Amino acid sequence: MMKFVAGVDIGNSTTEVAIADVENKLEFKTSSIVKTTGIKGTLDNVVGIVKALGDACENIHINIQDLNVICINEATPVIGDVAMETITETVITESTMIGHNPDTPGGMGIGVGKTIYLDELEGMSSNEPVICVIPRKVDFETAANRLNQAFDNHIDVTAAIVQGDDGVIINNRLKKHIPIVDEVSYIDKVPMGMLAAVEVASPGKTIKVLSNPYGLATVFKLSPEETKHVIPIARALIGNRSAVVIRTPEGDVKERVIPAGKLILMGEKQKGQLPIESGSEAIMKELEKVWPLKDVTGEAGTNVGGMLERVRQVMGELTSQNIDEVKIQDILAVDTFIPQKVQGGVAGEFSLENAVALAAMVKTSKLPMESIAKKLENETKVRVIIGGVEANVAVRGALTTPGTDKPLVILDIGGGSTDSAYISREGDIRSIHHAGAGQMVTMLINSELGLNDLSLAEDIKRYPLAKVESLFNIRYEGGNVCFYQNQLDSSLFARNVIVKSENEMIPIPTRHSIEKIRMVRRESKEKVFVTNIKRALKDIAPNHDIRAVDFVVLVGGSALDFEIPEMISDELSHYGVICGSGNIRGIMGPRNAVATGLVIAYYESLHPDKSRA
């Protein structure tokens, strides 16, 4: 007679199941994996658990009711959010700036002059330089003819601002080439009769004058005090192929500062506080000083205060606890950039502002897990037990990786947290949880590249990049070229793509270069994973000395990543540690460590005298 036990690992991203027969010896029969339903550690997880159990039972032709017991992990919910560093918003009164990368700017160089409408060119007699504003209702042929007439009448037209996307075709018809910025959607917001400058760089290059504060000072004859105020404008235009800056009558600039606020860290023995704009390094040093952490709050009425209260509120609602009972047990701070809309822009301009991303791990009582166990028991009619701390059971699962032995450290890199555990030669286990993992990396990629699309950011995190060089070949980010016998989709031509498989490529709808996307992806992973791994090893290795550890095994979804294991191995190589992705039970790869460990722990509690099969 078989006695089936199921181990269930509820993760932030996936729910995994392992089923074994424990009647005589421990014999694993099957496993399954599904997407986690709801936030980890909440009642919404039950739907996903039942689905995963159903899939696994189907594999070995049994019903869920045939299981003897279900062991679930103690799932700590983790939420990550972004808190902004101090932002200076620059508002140019009664005026505007345009700095975007239209696909079709015309001409090149810089033109300075007063803004006038195309219709006003005919009656002009003055010799002062002008910049012509051309609305969409004027077709390219008419626009080119009128500009050519102006040149014949010796009117000094130095540049043009166009609402449509006709920059190149207007320029091709002109007797004298001038810089033309097109695709300016809100052309009606461009103030007339004001001094302006238009710059277009040659193909493959970026503007030099308007992205330089001293260039702006030269063009607009600014005083040193006024030059200080144009720094945010210049910074917003860096890297653009074209730009327009228009000066107001008074050159009036207003600033509005949004306070980022102070972070208050409450340790068991001492308390620390510092402004979030101090940056991630200072925050993490302060955290180390007050460790172990009891709770974290933010200054009321500020960005960080609002963010931490939001985390607490969400967790309180999800776990049916009073907000005061929800404590933050760990945070991870990471420096990043967030695109902020430039006030006064008329083509949707953004500038990158410094920000601090915070992942917060919330400590809740055992109550939510007990509620999950109860609900699961009611739905399956099978006894459910909470099988222990995630990292502790993951160690047992990791030891089924061929070639490993004690003392060993596991790093379980999940979606929301990095769980680590150390098992000594004698079998004593020490574990720790740290906030921040895969979901935080996705969030950083999404914000730094300004994607506004988390699923695209997730794909950028998980798969390599390539440039489609022709309809029959792509060049991977590492330089390797891959040729195809059949023609690729013409919509991919000359695009940067994510290569999910040989036949599935997703175009990346940004103007960032492949080098920039790769750099952001790798830096985001290093900021989160490498930082957390250093923290984990320092906390759990004997005497905080990583050299006392022989084996480090990476488990969890992120260990399947195409570059994370290599990054971590590089970081640990100078300690003489054997580090690599786990291969649970010799067949599962880095997946299923916790689910497998839950079953092993249950088997050992039944047969303390028997060794594992």
CATH at 301: 3.90.470.30
Average pLDDT on 475-487 reads 93
For residue 101, the model assigns a pLDDT of 62
Position 215 in a domain: yes
Mean pLDDT of all residues in 221-238: 78
Q: Are residues 12 and 44 in the same domain?
A: yes
- At 63-73, the pLDDT tens digits run 999 999 999 98
Same domain, residue pair 98 and 243? yes
| Backbone CA torsion sign across 395, 396, 399, 401 | negative
184/270 same-domain check: no
Give yes or no for residue 316 having a pLDDT over 80: no
pLDDT at 251: 45
Helices (H), 428-563: 438-448, 454-462, 514-525, 531-540
CATH number of the domain where residue 140 is located: 3.50.30.70
CA Rg value for the chain: 30
| pLDDT for residue 356 | 82
Q: Which pLDDT belongs to residue 336?
A: 84
Q: In the predicted model, is pLDDT for residue 465 greater than 50?
A: yes
Residues 357 and 371 in one domain: no
In a domain, 544, yes or no: no
Q: Mean of the pLDDT values across residues 39-59?
A: 93
Q: Which of 363, 392, 422 is the last residue of a domain?
A: 363
Residues 181 and 141 in one domain: yes
Q: What is the DSSP letter of 528?
A: I
* The pLDDT of residue 83: 52
| 89 has pLDDT over 60 | no
- Give the 3-state DSSP-derived string for 83-119, with helices as H, strands as E and coil as C: EECCEEEEEECCCCEECCCCCCCECCEEEEEEEEEHH
Mean of the pLDDT values across residues 112-132? Answer: 88
Do 150 and 38 belong together in one domain?
no
Give how far Cα 180 sits from Cα of 133, 176, 184, Å. 10, 12, 11
pLDDT at 88: 41
- Range with lowest mean pLDDT among 204-213, 460-469, 516-525: 204-213
Tell me: pLDDT of 92 over 50. no
**Residue-level pLDDT at 571:** 86
Question: Residues 116-126: what's their mean pLDDT?
Answer: 84
pLDDT(125) > 80: no
What is the Cα 338 distance to its own chain's centre?
Answer: 10
pLDDT-derived band at 395 (thresholds 50, 70, 90) equals: very high
User: Does 547 map to a domain?
Assistant: no
Q: Which residue has the higher pLDDT, 356 or 145?
A: 145
- Give Cβ neighbours of residue 188 (< 8 Å, ≥ 6 apart): 135
Neighbouring-strand partners of residue 481: 475
* Tokens coding 320: 């049916």
Selected residue with higher pLDDT from 445 and 192 = 445
Q: Into how many domains does the chain fold?
A: 4
Same domain, 278 and 289: yes
pLDDT at 595 exceeding the cut of 90: yes
Token pair listed for 104: 């079709």
Q: Are residues 101 and 216 in the same domain?
A: yes
The answer to whether position 263 is within a domain reads yes
Say if CB 104 and CB 167 are below 8 A apart: yes
Percentage of the chain lying above the pLDDT 90 cut? 44
In this prediction, residue 221 carries a pLDDT of: 87
**What does the pLDDT average to over 202-214?**
87
Give the per-residue pLDDT at 551: 86
Average pLDDT score over residue span 53-64: 96
Assign residue 391 the CATH number of its domain. Answer: 3.30.420.40
575 belongs to a structural domain = no
Report whether pLDDT(58) > 90: yes
* Residues 110 and 233 reside in one and the same domain: yes
Assess whether the previous peptide bond of 213 is cis (omega < 30° from 0): no
Same structural domain, 158 and 225 = yes
Q: Would the pLDDT of 532 be above 80?
A: yes
Residue 219 one-letter amino acid: V
**Highest mean pLDDT (candidates 41-45, 409-413, 463-467, 608-612):** 463-467
What is the C-alpha separation between 486 and 457, in angstroms, rounded? Answer: 29
Quote the percentage of the chain above a pLDDT of 70.
Answer: 88
Domain boundary pick from 222, 253, 284: 253
pLDDT, position 506: 95
Q: What is the pTM of this model?
A: 0.73
Beta strands in 454-576 (DSSP E): 465-470, 473-476, 481-483, 496-501, 504-507, 551-555
Beta-carbon neighbour count of residue 366 at 10 Å?
10
What letter represents residue 591's amino acid? R
Segment 218-244 shows an average pLDDT of 80
Residue 214 is predicted with a pLDDT of 93
Q: Are 271 and 326 in contact (CB under 8 A)?
A: no
Task: Indicate if the pLDDT at residue 181 is higher than 60.
Answer: yes
pLDDT at 530 over 60: yes
- Mean pLDDT of the residues in the chain: 85
| Structure tokens that stand for 603 in this block | 């088997």
Q: Do both 293 and 161 map to the same domain?
A: no
Does 467 reside within a domain? yes
> Is 594:397 a contact under the CB 8 Å cutoff?
yes
- Flag whether 542 is in a domain: no
181 and 41, same domain (yes or no): no
Helix H or strand E segment including 255? strand 253-258
Domain boundary among 253, 272, 299: 253
In a domain, 186, yes or no: yes
Give the residue numbers spanning the domain of 491.
Answer: 451-511
